Structure 1
Amino acid sequence: MRIAILMSNTDESDFAQAHPKDGEKWRARLMPLCPDCEFPVYSVKDGHFPEHVSGYDGVIVTGSPASVHDLDPWLPRLFSLIREAFEAGVPLFGACFGHQAIALALGGAVSNNPGGWVFGTIQTEVTAPAPWMDGGPVRQYAAHIEQVTRLPRGATVTMANAGCPVGGFVIGRKVFTTQYHPEMNSEFIAALIEELADQKPPEVIAAARASLSERADNAKFARWIMEFFRQEAG
Protein backbone atom coordinates (compact mmCIF):
# COMPACT_ATOMS: atom_id res chain seq x y z
CA MET A 1 0.00 0.00 0.00
CA ARG A 2 0.97 3.61 -0.59
CA ILE A 3 -0.32 5.99 2.06
CA ALA A 4 0.38 9.71 1.65
CA ILE A 5 1.16 11.68 4.82
CA LEU A 6 0.06 15.32 4.52
CA MET A 7 2.24 17.02 7.12
CA SER A 8 0.43 20.09 8.46
CA ASN A 9 2.55 20.89 11.51
CA THR A 10 3.67 24.53 11.28
CA ASP A 11 6.00 24.47 14.30
CA GLU A 12 9.54 25.36 13.21
CA SER A 13 10.83 26.26 16.70
CA ASP A 14 14.08 25.00 18.21
CA PHE A 15 11.95 22.52 20.17
CA ALA A 16 10.47 21.13 16.96
CA GLN A 17 13.90 20.84 15.34
CA ALA A 18 15.12 18.77 18.30
CA HIS A 19 12.43 16.11 17.76
CA PRO A 20 11.33 13.96 14.82
CA LYS A 21 8.98 15.70 12.41
CA ASP A 22 5.41 14.44 12.16
CA GLY A 23 6.10 12.48 8.99
CA GLU A 24 8.78 10.53 10.84
CA LYS A 25 6.49 10.03 13.83
CA TRP A 26 3.77 8.56 11.65
CA ARG A 27 6.16 6.30 9.78
CA ALA A 28 7.59 5.04 13.08
CA ARG A 29 4.08 4.36 14.39
CA LEU A 30 2.70 2.55 11.35
CA MET A 31 5.59 0.95 9.47
CA PRO A 32 6.08 -1.89 12.01
CA LEU A 33 2.52 -2.96 11.16
CA CYS A 34 3.10 -2.74 7.42
CA PRO A 35 6.82 -3.06 6.55
CA ASP A 36 6.03 -3.23 2.83
CA CYS A 37 3.95 -0.05 2.85
CA GLU A 38 5.21 3.23 1.41
CA PHE A 39 4.56 6.42 3.37
CA PRO A 40 5.57 9.41 1.23
CA VAL A 41 5.46 12.68 3.18
CA TYR A 42 4.23 16.00 1.76
CA SER A 43 4.86 19.16 3.78
CA VAL A 44 1.57 20.76 2.82
CA LYS A 45 2.10 23.73 5.16
CA ASP A 46 5.06 24.62 2.87
CA GLY A 47 2.92 24.22 -0.24
CA HIS A 48 4.13 20.73 -1.15
CA PHE A 49 1.14 18.64 -2.21
CA PRO A 50 0.72 15.40 -4.16
CA GLU A 51 -0.35 16.20 -7.69
CA HIS A 52 -3.22 13.73 -7.42
CA VAL A 53 -4.47 11.44 -4.65
CA SER A 54 -5.88 8.76 -6.91
CA GLY A 55 -2.56 6.88 -6.93
CA TYR A 56 -2.67 6.29 -3.15
CA ASP A 57 -4.35 3.65 -1.03
CA GLY A 58 -4.92 6.17 1.74
CA VAL A 59 -4.18 9.66 3.02
CA ILE A 60 -3.24 10.81 6.53
CA VAL A 61 -3.74 14.45 7.55
CA THR A 62 -1.52 15.18 10.57
CA GLY A 63 -1.86 17.41 13.59
CA SER A 64 -0.71 21.03 13.75
CA PRO A 65 -0.63 24.02 16.10
CA ALA A 66 -2.32 25.88 13.23
CA SER A 67 -6.07 26.47 13.34
CA VAL A 68 -8.34 25.32 10.52
CA HIS A 69 -9.68 28.90 10.61
CA ASP A 70 -6.31 30.49 9.80
CA LEU A 71 -5.98 32.41 6.54
CA ASP A 72 -2.74 30.85 5.28
CA PRO A 73 -2.96 30.02 1.56
CA TRP A 74 -2.07 26.35 1.98
CA LEU A 75 -5.27 25.69 3.95
CA PRO A 76 -7.82 26.10 1.12
CA ARG A 77 -5.61 23.88 -1.03
CA LEU A 78 -5.58 21.24 1.72
CA PHE A 79 -9.38 21.38 2.06
CA SER A 80 -9.69 21.00 -1.71
CA LEU A 81 -7.41 17.94 -1.67
CA ILE A 82 -9.44 16.40 1.16
CA ARG A 83 -12.61 16.83 -0.89
CA GLU A 84 -10.86 15.39 -3.95
CA ALA A 85 -9.79 12.31 -1.98
CA PHE A 86 -13.26 11.85 -0.50
CA GLU A 87 -14.97 12.16 -3.87
CA ALA A 88 -12.47 9.71 -5.39
CA GLY A 89 -13.10 7.18 -2.60
CA VAL A 90 -9.52 7.33 -1.28
CA PRO A 91 -9.58 6.47 2.47
CA LEU A 92 -8.83 9.46 4.69
CA PHE A 93 -7.49 9.41 8.24
CA GLY A 94 -7.06 12.58 10.29
CA ALA A 95 -5.59 13.25 13.73
CA CYS A 96 -6.29 16.41 15.81
CA PHE A 97 -5.90 19.25 13.28
CA GLY A 98 -6.37 16.62 10.57
CA HIS A 99 -9.63 15.46 12.17
CA GLN A 100 -10.84 19.06 12.25
CA ALA A 101 -9.65 19.82 8.70
CA ILE A 102 -11.50 16.80 7.29
CA ALA A 103 -14.66 17.77 9.17
CA LEU A 104 -14.52 21.38 7.97
CA ALA A 105 -13.64 20.50 4.37
CA LEU A 106 -16.60 18.11 4.17
CA GLY A 107 -19.18 20.51 5.59
CA GLY A 108 -18.78 20.24 9.37
CA ALA A 109 -17.82 22.94 11.85
CA VAL A 110 -14.97 23.55 14.30
CA SER A 111 -15.05 25.84 17.36
CA ASN A 112 -13.11 26.53 20.56
CA ASN A 113 -13.40 23.97 23.36
CA PRO A 114 -15.80 25.31 26.02
CA GLY A 115 -13.39 24.10 28.72
CA GLY A 116 -10.25 25.53 27.11
CA TRP A 117 -7.04 23.59 26.60
CA VAL A 118 -7.01 19.78 26.67
CA PHE A 119 -3.48 18.55 27.30
CA GLY A 120 -1.84 15.28 28.34
CA THR A 121 -3.36 11.80 28.55
CA ILE A 122 -7.12 11.62 28.21
CA GLN A 123 -9.59 8.75 28.16
CA THR A 124 -12.41 8.61 25.66
CA GLU A 125 -15.14 6.06 25.24
CA VAL A 126 -15.60 4.14 22.02
CA THR A 127 -19.31 4.80 21.66
CA ALA A 128 -19.94 3.27 18.23
CA PRO A 129 -16.96 1.18 17.10
CA ALA A 130 -16.31 0.90 13.38
CA PRO A 131 -15.55 -2.64 12.13
CA TRP A 132 -11.80 -2.09 12.55
CA MET A 133 -12.12 -0.81 16.15
CA ASP A 134 -12.52 -2.43 19.57
CA GLY A 135 -15.14 -1.31 22.08
CA GLY A 136 -14.52 0.16 25.52
CA PRO A 137 -12.38 3.12 26.60
CA VAL A 138 -9.14 4.16 24.91
CA ARG A 139 -6.40 6.46 26.22
CA GLN A 140 -4.77 8.96 23.87
CA TYR A 141 -2.47 11.97 24.07
CA ALA A 142 -4.15 15.34 23.62
CA ALA A 143 -3.03 18.88 22.80
CA HIS A 144 -5.86 21.02 21.47
CA ILE A 145 -8.07 24.03 22.16
CA GLU A 146 -10.53 23.53 19.25
CA GLN A 147 -12.85 20.65 18.47
CA VAL A 148 -15.42 19.53 15.91
CA THR A 149 -18.81 20.95 16.85
CA ARG A 150 -20.84 19.87 13.82
CA LEU A 151 -20.35 16.65 11.91
CA PRO A 152 -20.12 16.46 8.13
CA ARG A 153 -23.08 14.91 6.36
CA GLY A 154 -23.19 11.13 6.76
CA ALA A 155 -20.69 11.06 9.66
CA THR A 156 -21.07 8.94 12.81
CA VAL A 157 -19.33 9.69 16.11
CA THR A 158 -17.11 6.78 17.18
CA MET A 159 -15.48 8.20 20.33
CA ALA A 160 -16.59 10.76 22.90
CA ASN A 161 -16.13 12.02 26.46
CA ALA A 162 -17.72 14.77 28.53
CA GLY A 163 -15.32 17.44 27.30
CA CYS A 164 -15.27 16.37 23.66
CA PRO A 165 -18.54 14.97 22.24
CA VAL A 166 -16.88 14.36 18.86
CA GLY A 167 -13.64 12.61 19.82
CA GLY A 168 -13.59 10.87 16.46
CA PHE A 169 -15.90 10.06 13.58
CA VAL A 170 -16.28 7.89 10.51
CA ILE A 171 -18.04 8.34 7.21
CA GLY A 172 -18.82 4.85 6.03
CA ARG A 173 -15.57 3.00 5.42
CA LYS A 174 -13.83 5.94 3.74
CA VAL A 175 -13.12 8.39 6.59
CA PHE A 176 -11.72 7.71 10.08
CA THR A 177 -10.59 10.44 12.49
CA THR A 178 -9.51 11.15 16.04
CA GLN A 179 -9.25 14.43 17.92
CA TYR A 180 -6.09 13.08 19.54
CA HIS A 181 -2.48 12.17 18.72
CA PRO A 182 -1.70 8.46 18.13
CA GLU A 183 1.66 9.44 16.63
CA MET A 184 3.04 10.99 19.85
CA ASN A 185 5.02 8.82 22.27
CA SER A 186 5.24 9.31 26.02
CA GLU A 187 8.64 11.01 25.84
CA PHE A 188 7.45 13.56 23.31
CA ILE A 189 4.22 14.52 25.10
CA ALA A 190 6.16 14.93 28.37
CA ALA A 191 8.69 17.19 26.62
CA LEU A 192 5.90 19.17 24.92
CA ILE A 193 4.18 19.81 28.25
CA GLU A 194 7.42 21.23 29.69
CA GLU A 195 8.07 23.27 26.54
CA LEU A 196 4.65 24.92 26.86
CA ALA A 197 4.63 25.20 30.66
CA ASP A 198 5.11 28.99 30.59
CA GLN A 199 2.60 29.50 27.78
CA LYS A 200 -0.50 27.70 29.09
CA PRO A 201 -2.56 28.19 32.26
CA PRO A 202 -0.87 26.66 35.34
CA GLU A 203 -3.86 24.42 36.04
CA VAL A 204 -3.68 23.01 32.49
CA ILE A 205 0.01 22.18 32.90
CA ALA A 206 -0.50 20.66 36.35
CA ALA A 207 -3.30 18.43 35.07
CA ALA A 208 -1.26 17.45 32.01
CA ARG A 209 1.74 16.46 34.12
CA ALA A 210 -0.43 14.41 36.47
CA SER A 211 -2.13 12.65 33.57
CA LEU A 212 1.14 11.14 32.35
CA SER A 213 0.91 8.41 34.98
CA GLU A 214 -1.38 6.83 32.35
CA ARG A 215 0.11 5.98 28.96
CA ALA A 216 -1.75 6.17 25.68
CA ASP A 217 -2.98 3.04 23.91
CA ASN A 218 -0.87 3.84 20.86
CA ALA A 219 -0.33 0.24 19.73
CA LYS A 220 -4.07 -0.38 19.74
CA PHE A 221 -4.80 2.81 17.81
CA ALA A 222 -2.07 2.12 15.25
CA ARG A 223 -3.65 -1.28 14.63
CA TRP A 224 -7.03 0.38 14.08
CA ILE A 225 -5.55 2.80 11.56
CA MET A 226 -3.86 0.10 9.51
CA GLU A 227 -6.94 -2.13 9.61
CA PHE A 228 -8.97 0.85 8.37
CA PHE A 229 -6.66 1.26 5.37
CA ARG A 230 -6.43 -2.49 4.72
CA GLN A 231 -10.20 -3.06 4.66
CA GLU A 232 -10.40 -0.80 1.64
CA ALA A 233 -7.22 -1.95 -0.05
CA GLY A 234 -8.29 -5.59 0.32
Structure 2
Amino acid sequence: MRSSHPPLRFLVAESETQQAREKRRESVGRSSGETYLDILHRLVPDAACDRIQPADTDAALPPGLSLTGYDAVLLTGSPLHLYEETPETRRTVAFMRAVFASGTPAFGSCAGLQVATVAAGGSVRPNARRLEAGFARRITPTGEGRAHPLLAGRPAAYDAPAIHTDEVEALPPGATLLAGNRLTAVQAAEIRFDGGVFWGVQYHPEIGLDEVAGALRRQADSLVEAGLARDGEDVEAYAWQVDGLHADPTRRDLAWRLGLDEQVTDERLRQTEMRNFVEALGRGRPLAVDS
Protein backbone atom coordinates (compact mmCIF):
# COMPACT_ATOMS: atom_id res chain seq x y z
CA MET A 1 0.00 0.00 0.00
CA ARG A 2 1.21 3.51 -0.86
CA SER A 3 4.32 2.13 -2.51
CA SER A 4 4.94 5.47 -4.27
CA HIS A 5 4.78 7.42 -1.01
CA PRO A 6 6.78 7.38 2.23
CA PRO A 7 5.61 4.77 4.76
CA LEU A 8 2.74 5.81 6.99
CA ARG A 9 3.69 6.93 10.49
CA PHE A 10 1.25 6.16 13.31
CA LEU A 11 1.11 7.31 16.92
CA VAL A 12 -0.76 5.00 19.27
CA ALA A 13 -2.07 6.84 22.33
CA GLU A 14 -2.50 4.33 25.14
CA SER A 15 -4.59 6.06 27.80
CA GLU A 16 -4.53 3.18 30.26
CA THR A 17 -2.77 3.94 33.52
CA GLN A 18 0.35 1.92 34.33
CA GLN A 19 -1.65 -0.25 36.74
CA ALA A 20 -4.27 -1.00 34.09
CA ARG A 21 -1.58 -1.80 31.53
CA GLU A 22 0.05 -4.29 33.88
CA LYS A 23 -3.28 -5.89 34.78
CA ARG A 24 -4.16 -6.34 31.11
CA ARG A 25 -0.74 -7.83 30.33
CA GLU A 26 -1.18 -10.32 33.17
CA SER A 27 -4.58 -11.27 31.72
CA VAL A 28 -3.92 -11.51 27.96
CA GLY A 29 -0.21 -10.85 27.52
CA ARG A 30 -0.40 -7.35 26.05
CA SER A 31 -1.58 -3.86 26.86
CA SER A 32 -4.20 -2.10 24.75
CA GLY A 33 -1.49 -0.12 22.96
CA GLU A 34 0.45 -3.28 22.16
CA THR A 35 -2.69 -4.76 20.63
CA TYR A 36 -3.04 -1.69 18.41
CA LEU A 37 0.62 -1.81 17.38
CA ASP A 38 0.33 -5.48 16.45
CA ILE A 39 -2.66 -4.89 14.19
CA LEU A 40 -1.16 -1.80 12.58
CA HIS A 41 1.99 -3.72 11.70
CA ARG A 42 -0.14 -6.45 10.15
CA LEU A 43 -2.29 -3.98 8.20
CA VAL A 44 0.67 -1.85 7.08
CA PRO A 45 3.88 -3.88 7.48
CA ASP A 46 6.17 -0.99 6.52
CA ALA A 47 4.50 1.57 8.79
CA ALA A 48 6.51 3.42 11.42
CA CYS A 49 4.71 3.25 14.77
CA ASP A 50 5.31 5.07 18.04
CA ARG A 51 3.42 4.86 21.31
CA ILE A 52 2.62 7.42 23.99
CA GLN A 53 0.79 7.13 27.33
CA PRO A 54 -0.98 10.51 27.63
CA ALA A 55 -2.40 9.76 31.09
CA ASP A 56 1.12 9.42 32.54
CA THR A 57 2.90 12.39 34.09
CA ASP A 58 6.02 11.87 31.97
CA ALA A 59 4.29 11.28 28.63
CA ALA A 60 6.28 12.71 25.72
CA LEU A 61 6.63 12.26 21.99
CA PRO A 62 9.87 10.81 20.63
CA PRO A 63 12.61 13.44 20.35
CA GLY A 64 12.33 15.59 17.26
CA LEU A 65 8.73 14.62 16.49
CA SER A 66 5.47 16.57 16.77
CA LEU A 67 1.85 15.55 16.24
CA THR A 68 1.93 17.03 12.75
CA GLY A 69 4.67 14.54 11.85
CA TYR A 70 2.21 11.64 12.04
CA ASP A 71 -0.26 10.46 9.41
CA ALA A 72 -2.68 9.46 12.17
CA VAL A 73 -3.14 9.12 15.91
CA LEU A 74 -5.01 6.09 17.27
CA LEU A 75 -6.55 6.10 20.75
CA THR A 76 -6.99 2.84 22.62
CA GLY A 77 -9.56 1.73 25.14
CA SER A 78 -9.04 2.52 28.82
CA PRO A 79 -10.75 2.17 32.22
CA LEU A 80 -10.59 5.96 32.71
CA HIS A 81 -13.93 7.62 33.52
CA LEU A 82 -13.97 10.83 31.51
CA TYR A 83 -16.62 12.47 33.73
CA GLU A 84 -14.20 12.33 36.68
CA GLU A 85 -11.79 15.21 37.21
CA THR A 86 -8.46 13.50 37.81
CA PRO A 87 -4.91 14.30 36.69
CA GLU A 88 -5.09 11.31 34.33
CA THR A 89 -8.32 12.37 32.63
CA ARG A 90 -7.17 16.00 32.37
CA ARG A 91 -3.90 15.00 30.73
CA THR A 92 -5.65 12.63 28.32
CA VAL A 93 -8.27 15.17 27.25
CA ALA A 94 -5.61 17.86 26.82
CA PHE A 95 -3.64 15.49 24.59
CA MET A 96 -6.70 14.87 22.41
CA ARG A 97 -7.34 18.61 22.08
CA ALA A 98 -3.76 18.98 20.87
CA VAL A 99 -4.40 16.21 18.32
CA PHE A 100 -7.46 18.05 17.01
CA ALA A 101 -5.53 21.33 16.85
CA SER A 102 -2.68 19.68 14.93
CA GLY A 103 -5.07 18.61 12.16
CA THR A 104 -3.74 15.04 12.34
CA PRO A 105 -6.52 12.52 11.59
CA ALA A 106 -7.43 10.30 14.53
CA PHE A 107 -9.23 7.04 15.23
CA GLY A 108 -10.29 5.54 18.53
CA SER A 109 -12.24 2.69 20.09
CA CYS A 110 -14.25 2.53 23.31
CA ALA A 111 -12.68 5.08 25.68
CA GLY A 112 -10.97 6.60 22.63
CA LEU A 113 -14.38 7.71 21.36
CA GLN A 114 -15.21 9.05 24.81
CA VAL A 115 -11.94 11.01 25.05
CA ALA A 116 -12.54 12.65 21.66
CA THR A 117 -16.13 13.44 22.65
CA VAL A 118 -15.12 15.25 25.85
CA ALA A 119 -12.18 17.01 24.19
CA ALA A 120 -14.54 18.47 21.56
CA GLY A 121 -17.20 19.61 24.04
CA GLY A 122 -19.49 16.59 24.40
CA SER A 123 -20.20 14.54 27.52
CA VAL A 124 -19.80 11.01 28.85
CA ARG A 125 -21.73 9.21 31.61
CA PRO A 126 -22.02 5.75 33.20
CA ASN A 127 -24.05 3.37 31.02
CA ALA A 128 -27.67 4.46 31.29
CA ARG A 129 -29.22 1.05 30.60
CA ARG A 130 -26.83 -1.73 31.58
CA LEU A 131 -23.31 -2.99 31.14
CA GLU A 132 -22.56 -3.98 27.54
CA ALA A 133 -20.24 -6.93 28.05
CA GLY A 134 -18.58 -9.33 25.65
CA PHE A 135 -20.31 -8.23 22.49
CA ALA A 136 -22.40 -5.29 21.35
CA ARG A 137 -25.42 -6.73 19.55
CA ARG A 138 -27.33 -5.53 16.49
CA ILE A 139 -25.35 -2.36 15.90
CA THR A 140 -27.24 -0.42 13.24
CA PRO A 141 -25.71 2.30 11.04
CA THR A 142 -27.62 5.55 10.68
CA GLY A 143 -28.34 6.99 7.24
CA GLU A 144 -25.10 8.96 7.50
CA GLY A 145 -23.30 5.85 8.72
CA ARG A 146 -24.39 3.79 5.73
CA ALA A 147 -22.70 6.35 3.48
CA HIS A 148 -19.60 6.86 5.62
CA PRO A 149 -16.30 5.18 4.70
CA LEU A 150 -15.66 4.17 8.32
CA LEU A 151 -18.45 1.59 8.15
CA ALA A 152 -17.96 0.52 4.53
CA GLY A 153 -18.64 -3.21 4.26
CA ARG A 154 -20.67 -3.49 7.45
CA PRO A 155 -24.17 -4.98 6.99
CA ALA A 156 -27.46 -3.39 8.06
CA ALA A 157 -26.95 -4.82 11.57
CA TYR A 158 -23.88 -6.44 13.08
CA ASP A 159 -22.25 -7.48 16.35
CA ALA A 160 -18.78 -6.51 17.59
CA PRO A 161 -16.55 -7.12 20.63
CA ALA A 162 -17.43 -4.65 23.37
CA ILE A 163 -17.14 -4.20 27.10
CA HIS A 164 -17.71 -0.79 28.67
CA THR A 165 -19.22 0.73 31.78
CA ASP A 166 -19.44 4.27 30.34
CA GLU A 167 -20.98 5.71 27.19
CA VAL A 168 -21.26 8.94 25.23
CA GLU A 169 -24.09 10.97 26.70
CA ALA A 170 -24.04 13.77 24.11
CA LEU A 171 -21.88 14.16 21.04
CA PRO A 172 -20.19 17.55 20.62
CA PRO A 173 -21.60 20.17 18.25
CA GLY A 174 -21.00 19.31 14.62
CA ALA A 175 -20.39 15.61 15.25
CA THR A 176 -22.10 12.99 13.08
CA LEU A 177 -23.73 9.94 14.63
CA LEU A 178 -22.87 6.92 12.48
CA ALA A 179 -24.31 3.92 14.38
CA GLY A 180 -26.07 2.84 17.57
CA ASN A 181 -27.94 -0.04 19.12
CA ARG A 182 -30.59 -0.68 21.76
CA LEU A 183 -28.21 -0.37 24.71
CA THR A 184 -25.80 2.31 23.50
CA ALA A 185 -27.09 5.18 21.39
CA VAL A 186 -23.62 6.20 20.16
CA GLN A 187 -21.74 3.20 18.78
CA ALA A 188 -19.88 5.08 16.04
CA ALA A 189 -19.34 8.73 15.22
CA GLU A 190 -17.28 11.25 13.31
CA ILE A 191 -16.13 14.29 15.31
CA ARG A 192 -14.73 17.44 13.72
CA PHE A 193 -13.21 20.03 16.02
CA ASP A 194 -10.60 22.78 15.85
CA GLY A 195 -9.36 21.78 12.39
CA GLY A 196 -9.11 18.06 13.16
CA VAL A 197 -11.19 14.99 12.40
CA PHE A 198 -11.77 11.85 14.45
CA TRP A 199 -13.47 8.59 13.51
CA GLY A 200 -14.44 6.42 16.45
CA VAL A 201 -16.45 3.47 17.70
CA GLN A 202 -17.65 2.45 21.15
CA TYR A 203 -16.85 -1.20 20.45
CA HIS A 204 -13.47 -2.88 19.89
CA PRO A 205 -12.69 -3.87 16.28
CA GLU A 206 -9.03 -4.23 17.26
CA ILE A 207 -9.22 -6.96 19.88
CA GLY A 208 -9.15 -10.71 19.41
CA LEU A 209 -11.61 -13.08 21.01
CA ASP A 210 -8.95 -14.09 23.55
CA GLU A 211 -8.91 -10.46 24.68
CA VAL A 212 -12.72 -10.50 24.97
CA ALA A 213 -12.44 -13.53 27.25
CA GLY A 214 -9.72 -11.81 29.27
CA ALA A 215 -11.82 -8.67 29.70
CA LEU A 216 -14.77 -10.74 30.92
CA ARG A 217 -12.58 -12.43 33.50
CA ARG A 218 -11.09 -9.13 34.68
CA GLN A 219 -14.57 -7.68 35.15
CA ALA A 220 -16.24 -10.81 36.52
CA ASP A 221 -17.34 -9.09 39.75
CA SER A 222 -18.99 -6.27 37.79
CA LEU A 223 -20.82 -8.76 35.58
CA VAL A 224 -22.21 -10.55 38.62
CA GLU A 225 -23.15 -7.26 40.28
CA ALA A 226 -24.95 -6.17 37.09
CA GLY A 227 -26.97 -9.39 37.04
CA LEU A 228 -25.42 -10.65 33.80
CA ALA A 229 -24.03 -13.73 35.56
CA ARG A 230 -24.97 -15.58 38.72
CA ASP A 231 -21.40 -16.04 39.90
CA GLY A 232 -17.79 -16.26 38.80
CA GLU A 233 -18.34 -19.77 37.47
CA ASP A 234 -20.95 -18.42 35.05
CA VAL A 235 -18.48 -15.82 33.79
CA GLU A 236 -15.75 -18.42 33.41
CA ALA A 237 -18.05 -20.76 31.47
CA TYR A 238 -18.92 -17.99 29.02
CA ALA A 239 -15.29 -16.85 28.72
CA TRP A 240 -14.22 -20.46 28.13
CA GLN A 241 -16.50 -20.64 25.08
CA VAL A 242 -15.15 -17.34 23.75
CA ASP A 243 -11.60 -18.66 24.22
CA GLY A 244 -12.58 -21.81 22.34
CA LEU A 245 -13.87 -19.79 19.41
CA HIS A 246 -10.64 -17.79 19.40
CA ALA A 247 -8.65 -21.03 19.20
CA ASP A 248 -10.81 -22.31 16.35
CA PRO A 249 -13.01 -19.69 14.60
CA THR A 250 -14.59 -22.45 12.50
CA ARG A 251 -16.34 -23.93 15.58
CA ARG A 252 -19.94 -23.47 14.40
CA ASP A 253 -21.21 -24.97 17.65
CA LEU A 254 -19.54 -22.29 19.76
CA ALA A 255 -20.57 -19.51 17.36
CA TRP A 256 -24.15 -20.77 17.61
CA ARG A 257 -24.11 -20.91 21.42
CA LEU A 258 -22.68 -17.39 21.60
CA GLY A 259 -25.02 -16.06 18.91
CA LEU A 260 -22.16 -14.81 16.72
CA ASP A 261 -21.60 -14.77 12.97
CA GLU A 262 -18.68 -14.00 10.67
CA GLN A 263 -18.75 -10.28 11.54
CA VAL A 264 -17.10 -11.35 14.80
CA THR A 265 -15.52 -14.73 14.07
CA ASP A 266 -13.72 -13.60 10.88
CA GLU A 267 -10.74 -11.49 11.92
CA ARG A 268 -10.74 -9.44 8.72
CA LEU A 269 -14.42 -8.53 9.09
CA ARG A 270 -14.04 -7.90 12.82
CA GLN A 271 -11.36 -5.29 12.08
CA THR A 272 -13.45 -3.49 9.44
CA GLU A 273 -13.29 0.00 10.97
CA MET A 274 -9.55 -0.02 11.55
CA ARG A 275 -8.96 -1.34 8.06
CA ASN A 276 -11.23 1.31 6.56
CA PHE A 277 -9.48 4.09 8.46
CA VAL A 278 -6.01 2.94 7.41
CA GLU A 279 -7.09 2.43 3.81
CA ALA A 280 -8.54 5.96 3.70
CA LEU A 281 -5.17 7.29 4.82
CA GLY A 282 -3.34 5.13 2.32
CA ARG A 283 -5.43 6.43 -0.55
CA GLY A 284 -4.55 9.96 0.47
CA ARG A 285 -8.23 10.80 0.83
CA PRO A 286 -9.51 13.40 3.29
CA LEU A 287 -11.27 11.67 6.15
CA ALA A 288 -14.74 12.76 5.23
CA VAL A 289 -17.82 11.50 3.47
CA ASP A 290 -17.62 12.14 -0.26
CA SER A 291 -19.73 15.11 -1.28
Is residue 181 of structure 1 aligned with residue 190 of structure 2?
no
- 2:171 corresponds in structure 1 to 151
Structure number with higher helix proportion: 2
* d(CA) in 2 for partners of 1:105, 1:23: 20
Q: Alpha carbons of 1:92 and 1:222: their partners in 2 closer, same or farther (altered >3 Å)?
A: closer
* d(CA) in 2 for partners of 1:67, 1:2: 29
Q: Which amino acid aligns with 1:49?
A: A
Q: Which amino acid aligns with 1:4?
A: L
Contact 2:83 2:123 (C-alpha < 8 Å) held by counterparts: no
1:174, CA displacement in angstroms?
2.1
- 1:33 corresponds in structure 2 to 43
* d(CA) in 1 for partners of 2:128, 2:23: 31
**Fraction of identical pairs, as percent:** 26
Q: How does 1:10-25 map to 2 (within 5 A)?
A: 10=17, 11-14=20-23, 16-18=25-27, 19-25=29-35
- 2:60 corresponds in structure 1 to 49
- 2:77 corresponds in structure 1 to 63
* d(CA) in 2 for partners of 1:86, 1:166: 20
Structure number with higher strand proportion: 1
TM-score, normalised to structure 1, is 0.88
1:13, CA displacement in angstroms?
5.0
Larger radius of gyration: 2
* d(CA) in 2 for partners of 1:204, 1:232: 44
Higher relative contact order (CA 8 A, sep 6+): 1
Tell me the number of residue pairs that the alignment of Structure 1 and Structure 2 aligns.
234
Q: Which amino acid aligns with 1:191?
A: G
Is residue 139 of structure 1 aligned with residue 154 of structure 2?
no
Contact 1:160 1:167 (C-alpha < 8 Å) held by counterparts: yes
Contact 1:46 1:74 (C-alpha < 8 Å) held by counterparts: yes
Contact 2:116 2:191 (C-alpha < 8 Å) held by counterparts: no
Contact 2:163 2:215 (C-alpha < 8 Å) held by counterparts: no
Which of 254, 271, 274 aligns to 1:222? It is: 274
Using the TM superposition, name which of 173-182 and 13-22 deviates more: 13-22
Is residue 90 of structure 1 aligned with residue 110 of structure 2?
no
- 2:252 corresponds in structure 1 to none
Q: Which amino acid aligns with 1:45?
A: A
Q: Secondary structure at the match of 2:90?
A: helix
Listed one character per residue, the Cα deviations across residues 174-225 of structure 1 (whole Å, up to 9, x for unaligned) are 2100011122210121122123223432632469938952236423233123
Is residue 166 of structure 1 aligned with residue 160 of structure 2?
no
Q: Secondary structure at the match of 1:16?
A: helix
Using the TM superposition, name which of 60-69 and 168-177 deviates more: 168-177
Q: Secondary structure at the match of 1:166?
A: coil
Q: Alpha carbons of 1:69 and 1:204: their partners in 2 closer, same or farther (altered >3 Å)?
A: same
Q: Alpha carbons of 1:139 and 1:30: their partners in 2 closer, same or farther (altered >3 Å)?
A: farther
Q: Secondary structure at the match of 2:55?
A: helix
- 1:81 corresponds in structure 2 to 95
1:102, CA displacement in angstroms?
0.3
**Where does structure 2 lack aligned partners over 5 or more consecutive residues?**
1-7, 243-257, 287-291
TM-score, normalised to structure 2, is 0.72
Which of 16, 34, 37 aligns to 1:9? It is: 16
Q: Alpha carbons of 1:233 and 1:74: their partners in 2 closer, same or farther (altered >3 Å)?
A: farther
